[in-house]
Amino acid sequence: MIIAMDGPAGAGKSTVAKRVARELGLTFLDTGAMYRAVTLVVLNRGIHPSDEERCTAVAREIELTFDDSGEIRIDGEAGEPDIRSDTVTLNVSAVSAHAGVRSAIVDEQRAIAERRGGLVAEGRDTTSVVFPGADHKFFLDASAKERARRRELQRPSERPLAEIQADIERRDKLDTTRAHSPLVQVPDAILIDVGSLNADQVVARILAHVRGER
């Protein structure tokens, strides 16, 4: 079974997808972690994020795998926590906008689904491009203000809330307006407004849909 979930930054997709996967005994695939991993290697090698050719070469060359807890490994090395640094977060939209990078990563995502015989994937284009034939599709959304508040609770930082919200809005803009695989809510995805729900409630709703209770 393939379950795909998309939505903007900070909607809580990872937490929810991870738990849905655990409940159903499926693999969890954090597609954003793959774009973050490419971005980390690009930056470490001193490649400019706007250099499509070299970014694509990195995406094709590095080996991305996931360990049993669902955490990414880059050529066998742990990708966490470096893939979550502010520098990676600031540059990941630029790197992930390249068609060549996307095509390399999407091929890999489909190969993982094939090998694992199904999964729960979350990201920006899993319902629209990567797994258009997924058995269940969801779109998790909330206002930028609410998502900034959640980010702050999840990962407390010294930065003012307004700055975190501005970053989220900037990423929303880049993710929804890029030429290749922009973030969209596809017509057959079920919209879940996570603004008024906690993670338990979102997971329960998704499981009810998957189990045909809704």
- 37 and 81 Cβ atoms separated by less than 8 Å: no
Which positions from 106 through 125 interact with ligand DC, judged by CB under 6 A? 123-125
Token pair for residue 190? 């079920």
Which lies closer to ligand DC via its Cβ, residue 125 or residue 146? 125
Q: Tell me, what amino acid is at 156? A: P
Tell me which residue has tokens 């008024």: 196
The DSSP 8-state label assigned to residue 123 in this structure reads: E
What separation, in Å, do the N-terminal and C-terminal C-alpha atoms of the chain show? 18
Edge-first strand listing for the sheet containing 72-74? 64-66, 72-74, 77-78
Rounded to a whole number of angstroms, the minimum distance from the CB of residue 53 to ligand DC is: 19
Rounded to a whole number of angstroms, the minimum distance from the CB of residue 88 to ligand DC is: 8
171 binds ligand DC (CB under 6 A): yes
* Single residue of 32, 128, 151, 165 touching ligand DC by CB under 6 A: 32
Tell me which residue has tokens 């990423």: 171
Stretch that binds ligand DC, among 32-40, 46-54, 111-119, 143-151 (CB under 6 A): 32-40
Q: Can you name the residues that pair with 3 across neighbouring β-strands? A: 120, 136
Rounded to a whole number of angstroms, the minimum distance from the CB of residue 206 to ligand DC is: 17
* Single residue of 18, 19, 36, 98 touching ligand DC by CB under 6 A: 36
- 18 and 206 Cβ atoms separated by less than 8 Å: no
165 binds ligand DC (CB under 6 A): no
> Nearest-CA neighbor of 97 among 40, 187, 171, 10?
171
Which lies closer to ligand DC via its Cβ, residue 12 or residue 210? 12
Stretch that binds ligand DC, among 31-39, 153-161, 184-192, 195-203 (CB under 6 A): 31-39
CA distance 151 to 11: 9
Which lies closer to ligand DC via its Cβ, residue 27 or residue 31? 31
126 binds ligand DC (CB under 6 A): yes
Residues that bind ligand DC (CB under 6 A): 9, 31-32, 35-36, 92-93, 96, 123-126, 171, 175
